[in-house]
Structure 1
Amino acid sequence: MTHVSGRHFLQIPGPSPVPDRVLRAMSAQVIDHRSPEFGELGLRALAAIKTIFKTEQDVIIYPSSGTGAWEAALANVLREGDKVLMYETGHFATLWKKMAEKLGVEAEFIGGDWRSGADPDQIETRLRADTGHEIKAVCVVHNETSTGSVSPIAEVRQAIDAAGHPALLMVDTISGLASIDFRFDEWGVDVAVSGSQKGLMLPPGISFNAVGAKALAAAKAGGARRSYWDWEEMLGINGKGYFPYTPATNMLYGLIDAIDMLHEEGLETVFARHQRHAAATRAAVDAWGLEVLCNRQGQESGVLTGVLMPEGHGADNFRAVALKHYNISLGSGLSKVADKVFRIGHLGDINDLTLIGALSGVEMGLGKAGVPHEKGGVGVAMRYLESTPAPGIDA
């Protein structure tokens, strides 16, 4: 192995770099997960995560990736043969649909172009046509990590209500939570899915289901056969801070500290910081003469920016060159946009200097890889940051 000096720029859209403070919290000695001390830890973690989902409802913590939380959400409220309506916002919406089908759920896709979020009008139209109310749930990805597009979840809830349809609203906010605004209670979400490795600034390893009363009632009335993912079994013991099986103890220590960090900065400040960095990134992309994948104004993600490569130039080769020469990891294009797109992550515990360093690596990488572009995108991003107030600092 050859030592590479300096810090590695992990600029993928998750996992995001873990702050030193969170790493230190996670380094605590493991404790007995049946002890009174653990009960206090569990109660703190379960209460803290509710503040990030902005809910008074139950939030369940699983020792799993976000994929596990996807399955938990589906298995608790849907049984084999049930119908769900999903929206094709990108790769991760597609994977959630494939999972539903593997579980025997009939998943209907509203087709999308991978360049914008879900369209509430199309959802409302389809639900109005479902006069027999066969569709049991509407599943939408909040922040589509493969494309950098955000779906208007509050408007999707309004569309369901306008159609007079009883379908549950189920939302994947794995990459959106703690980076861009999400309001479980206010927006009328019934089930929300998230994970630890994005805006929560933790390693991969724990995931979440926020669960509303309507979804809990549906789970008690039916759903698929389940054991590990069963909400009722979890909630029965969560009330005392414990879990029905071995929890990810040290991840809970990190979770509490990460949530403390978010509140110390202020959630609204965190969201504004992400939006400002995203705008600076898009300004750089435009100055390079390249194209942002999300083309729906107002739906661009604060978490990441997907960038289309010029015709005849592969994104994977560019990413490899940038990694080799400038020690920066950028997100790859997935499935339909494989090798056509690279993704710049700007989420988690970053500041203006982090972002400018990352954009410098991108610009130098474009040059080193021979990708046609205009110079000076980093300077444009710098001028944007200089001219716009930094949330929480330039008060």
Structure 2
Amino acid sequence: VRYSKGVGILLTDGAHDTLICGNVITDNHSDGILVSGPSTVNNAIISNIITDNTGKGIRLENGGNRMIPPPIITSVSPHIISGTVDENTPKDSHVEVYADDEDEGAELLGSSSIRRGEFSVSADVPQGKKYHAILVHPNGDTSEFGPAYPLIRRVSRFVFTSTRDRNEEIYMKSGNRLIRLTDNEAPDNTPKLSPADGRKIVFVSMRSGNPDLWKMSIRGDELKQLTNAQAPDYDPAWSPDGRRIVFVSERDGNPDLYILNLEDNTITRLTQTQAEERYPCWHGDKIAFASKQNGNWDIFVVNADGTGLTQLTNSPANETQPVWSPDGGEIAFVSDADGSEDIWTMKADGTMTRNLAETPYPEKDPCWTRDGFILFSSQREGGWEIYQIKPSGGNATRLTTSLGENTQPSAK
């Protein structure tokens, strides 16, 4: 299957129990194989040569093959390739390992059963290649190719909001483990890990009937309500020392910034404008935020005592959701300057703006990790998923897989 002007092999509209085996799928102008749709399931893709396609070698979207997560290769030696699979992988699944110059599967190196969430393939491993694996469930469901080894180091732990169980709840991804932290009929969202140790989470919940700030441990216990105003409170962000929280409240009629002191529970109003303010983020003694003071959304910085207001962006586009880099030298943010909402970066003084993603799909929720990566939410592969990218741009690595919406990551 080659030289197609589109997808090499398309499975959609409820196609099921298909076996794609022993084919050469190459040089197509889109994905090698596309499996799309919630009823397009149980399709086995095994022992194929899939390479040099313009898109992905195998792409799952909109629930195709139940969007099963791919394996992750963690170790490569001259004669053994090993790795891990998702903890919910069913018994009798197996993994196939491939080598390729890019991100597909030009050469099948071998297959392996799974034992205690791990796999190991014995092979004469060709040097100078990238190595990928696919997971095949007993019912035939086959994953996309997993991330290449050598790996871009993935963030080890982050929290996020997901609707995978219909309601907005907060989850933690730790390695391959997925842990549900909240379980309430009311929506819980916007989790933010505490800055020093990452052991506490501030978040927004409707469980009291109104959007309020709450706090819990990363185990999901030690739950405490922090605000209880008649008006909505939202968009929380920790101070660097973890003693205060800046947030947005409409308690005085307009969305403005406020600071909650966790030691004495006092609340101080930080901004007092007629414009709407959103998305505060704290670094050192400065707080970046988005404001509509000039009609459209721009990014401003203010000192934590309310002085020194400075406008960083001033364009016809909307710029929102600013987040500081770990060293405070850069700010990642969301802008629609190129037509769709993308993840951008700029220097802390507002200069040297750069679009990291440049996709036609909406992207939002940037979050820096301590080691300098940026997490964000994107619809680039159908539903909202969380990705990781270098601040210099390039290819993004998907970190979540779910039929629900996965957004608002927070990591250390």
TM-score (norm 2): 0.24
More helix per residue: 1
Structure with higher Rg: it is 2
More strand per residue: 2
TM-score (norm 1): 0.24
